[in-house]
Amino acid sequence: MEVSVVLERVENNGYRARCGEPLALSAEGETREEAVGRLREALAAKIAAGVEVIRLRVPTITPDRPLWPDDEFTRAWLEGIAEARRKADANPAPWEKPDAEQS
Question: Which of 16, 13, 12 shows the shortest CA–CA distance to 27?
Answer: 16
pLDDT in tens, 30-55: 999 999 999 999 999 999 999 988 88
Task: Quote the pTM value.
Answer: 0.56
Amino acid at site 19: C
Distance CA 45, CA 29 (A): 18
pLDDT in tens, 54-76: 889 998 887 777 777 889 999 99
Query: Which helix (DSSP H) or strand (DSSP E) does residue 25 occupy?
Result: strand 25-29
Distance CA 60, CA 76 (A): 28
List C-alpha distances in Å: 87 to 5, 30, 73. 40, 53, 21
